């Protein structure tokens, strides 16, 4: 009898890999019954990394969104799953254990069946809490292996992780091929090894299509014994997203597997609704190049979803880099030339940082370090001059154990900075915090919510939750959407005035003040200056002193907050962006001299 392969629709990740936002709860409720009518899905990815922050940025309650989105699938027996980042849970930085454990209880109560948990470093210690927490919360524990291609990421390496998490009690294993660079034959061997040693463990494969391996990979893992495959639907399939269910189903049926039929009328309706959401407003936040595969990703290994942000980064840095080259009497570079240089720099940086799998947040760390190296070397300065605090925490072991060895030059940088390598359990460095958040909610007069879900959301995303509760988040989103509509020539539907950034000639200022060092936005989002007293609606005063490495401001990106660091000690001599302004990554927001 033919073995059955089941499909999971990764509707959340389809949007996240395409652009900034996922669909709103009203849109999700509209499409849920149509997805059910397609008849080919046993699972749907309903929430996880970035989903809840995005709902907060809309000014919507993410707990309501998860409950209402999961409910139709719960009713018909389609399993729902979420993605969480192990030690980082649903954000970009470590989360205390009591907050992590509350997450599983809340998500199960809201209708999420499966917790897909990954550690970007594949450190089983970070995954132990995920397995135990998910099981205690009544969820199915699925541990995701962060797949990459390097000399240290062998079948034996991954099986070492599997052995630990099976011992902890996980129910399933996912191969999370986030950049799509896992080689098909290797992935087949890994699935075969898992199934041979642990035949009771379900295996699911998640592979992006960016460099083009994923279709072959899906056939290989199916033949090796995989049970579930993650797929997408048009118009958000292929490119750097995921393969389309139509193609994968047809391939597997021809290969002799049992697969469910697709109700094509429902498929076309779901396709039409998704396009309607794009046309409504989500398309303004989608990176067009994410519809294109590129073999350049084979070498650098970056996730396809990062291509859009990377291009924005390069465009932000391009002016400063070319200005420096002109001052050195050198030829300016085109964007294409910079892209190739950045890919090459990623390939240089990655092994020297210990081969961290290039998945959130470590892909950002490697890419950001490569970008800063590129900027410094083109200006005639040494590599590694700028390493942000989160990357340094990864280097010294606070995020977990790196798969490979650090280069001697990186070890020396740690010593020169007077830092020590951390060898303890990463979770131990982040003590429990729920009592603190309970007290703050009492002081604010806020209700902890059904099943403590509002307490969880506040503890997980404090800043975004405060902005949601105050109404600021909704105002920012509407203002930003109106600006994008205006830029595209679309009719205005919102009357709130748009705040425009004051004109400022960055290149002219830099030429007149050659000793001044720029302060650059660390991400795209909303700028907030670090000023006292808190809440003051202005930038720091000219002349304010900062030390090298000290945070000067931060940017509220869609996935969390990114600090902007002073590259040298000195005083603030110019401000080019105000409190609450929208900025792009690399944008110069001020100067220190």
Q: Report d(CA 531, CA 318) in Å as an integer.
A: 29
SS3 314: helix
Q: How far apart (Å, rounded) are the C-alpha atoms in residues 278 and 354?
A: 39
Domain encompassing residue 570: 506-592
Q: What pLDDT sits at residue 207?
A: 96
447 assigned to some structural domain: no
- The number of folded domains in the chain is 3
402 and 314, same structural domain? yes
Examine the domain organization and report whether 281 and 302 are in the same domain. no
pLDDT for 260: 98
Quote the pLDDT of residue 495.
35
pLDDT for position 233:
98
Say what the pLDDT of residue 534 is: 39
268 and 315 housed in the same domain: no
Whether 217 is covered by a domain: the verdict is yes
- 290 Cβ partners below 8 Å, 6+ apart? 17, 18, 19, 239, 240, 241, 304, 305, 307, 308
Q: Are 284 and 350 part of one and the same domain?
A: no
Indicate if 520 and 406 belong to the same structural domain: no
**CATH assignment of the domain containing 38:** 3.20.20.70
pLDDT in tens, 133-176: 999 999 999 999 999 999 999 999 999 999 999 999 999 999 99
Task: Identify whether residues 398 and 534 lie together within a single domain.
Answer: no
Q: What pLDDT is stored for residue 557 in this prediction?
A: 66
255 and 184 share one domain: yes
Residues of the chain with pLDDT under 50: 492-503, 532-537
CA distance 517 to 540: 16
Cα–Cα distance for residue pair 376/177, rounded to 1 Å: 32
- pLDDT for 561: 65
Strands 582-583 and 588-592: unpaired
- Shared-domain flag, residues 257 and 127: yes
């Amino acid at each position: 009898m033919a073995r059955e392969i089941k499909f999971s629709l990764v509707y959340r990740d389809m949007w996240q890999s395409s652009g900034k936002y996922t669909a709103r709860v009203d849109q999700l409720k509209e499409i849920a019954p149509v997805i059910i009518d397609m008849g080919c899905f046993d699972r749907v990815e309903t929430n996880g990394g970035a989903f809840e922050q995005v709902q907060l940025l809309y000014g919507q309650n993410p707990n309501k969104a998860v409950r209402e989105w999961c409910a139709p699938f719960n009713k018909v027996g389609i399993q729902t799953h979420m993605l969480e980042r192990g030690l980082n849970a649903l954000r970009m930085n470590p989360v205390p254990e009591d907050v992590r454990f509350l997450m599983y209880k809340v998500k199960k109560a809201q209708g999420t069946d499966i917790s897909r948990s990954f550690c970007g470093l594949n450190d089983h210690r970070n995954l132990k809490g995920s397995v135990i927490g998910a099981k205690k919360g009544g969820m199915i524990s699925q541990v995701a292996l962060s797949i990459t291609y390097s000399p240290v990421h062998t079948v034996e390496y991954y099986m070492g992780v599997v052995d630990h998490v099976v011992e902890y009690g996980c129910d399933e294993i996912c191969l999370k091929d986030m950049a799509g660079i896992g080689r098909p034959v290797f992935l087949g061997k890994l699935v075969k090894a898992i199934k041979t040693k642990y035949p009771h463990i379900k295996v699911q494969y998640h592979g992006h299509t960016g460099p083009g391996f994923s279709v072959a990979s899906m056939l290989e893992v199916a033949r090796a014994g995989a049970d579930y495959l993650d797929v997408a639907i048009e118009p958000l399939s292929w490119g750097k997203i995921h393969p389309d269910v139509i193609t994968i189903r047809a391939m597997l049926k021809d290969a002799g597997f049992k697969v469910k039929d697709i109700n094509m009328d429902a498929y076309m309706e779901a396709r039409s609704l998704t396009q309607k959401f794009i046309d409504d407003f989500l398309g303004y936040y989608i990176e067009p190049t994410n519809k294109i595969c590129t073999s350049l990703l084979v070498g650098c290994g970056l996730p396809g979803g990062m291509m859009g942000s990377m291009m924005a980064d390069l465009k932000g840095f391009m002016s400063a880099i070319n200005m420096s080259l002109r001052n050195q009497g050198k030829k300016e570079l085109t964007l294409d030339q910079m892209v190739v240089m950045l890919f090459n720099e990623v390939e240089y940086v990655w092994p020297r940082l210990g081969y961290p799998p290039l998945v959130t947040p470590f892909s950002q760390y490697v890419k950001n370090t490569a970008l800063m190296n590129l900027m410094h070397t083109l200006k005639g300065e040494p590599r590694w001059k700028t390493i942000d605090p989160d990357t340094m925490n990864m280097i010294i072991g606070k995020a977990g154990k790196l798969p490979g060895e650090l280069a001697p030059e990186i070890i020396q940088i740690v010593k020169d900075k007077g830092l020590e390598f951390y060898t303890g359990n990463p979770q131990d460095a982040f003590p429990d915090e729920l009592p603190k958040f309970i007290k703050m909610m009492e002081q604010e007069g806020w209700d902890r919510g059904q099943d403590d879900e509002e307490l969880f959301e506040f503890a997980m995303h404090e800043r975004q939750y405060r902005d949601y509760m105050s109404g600021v988040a909704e105002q920012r989103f509407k203002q930003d959407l109106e600006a994008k509509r205006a830029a595209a020539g679309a009719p205005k539907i919102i009357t709130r005035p748009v705040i425009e950034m004051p004109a400022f000639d960055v290149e002219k200022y830099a030429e007149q003040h050659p000793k001044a060092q720029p302060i650059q936005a660390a991400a795209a989002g909303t700028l907030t200056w670090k000023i006292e007293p808190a809440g003051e609606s202005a930038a720091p005063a000219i002349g304010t002193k900062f030390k090298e490495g000290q945070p000067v401001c931060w940017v509220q990106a869609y996935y969390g907050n990114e600090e902007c660091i002073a590259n040298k000690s000195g005083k603030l001599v110019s401000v080019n962006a105000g409190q609450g302004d929208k900025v792009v990554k690399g944008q110069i927001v001020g100067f220190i001299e």
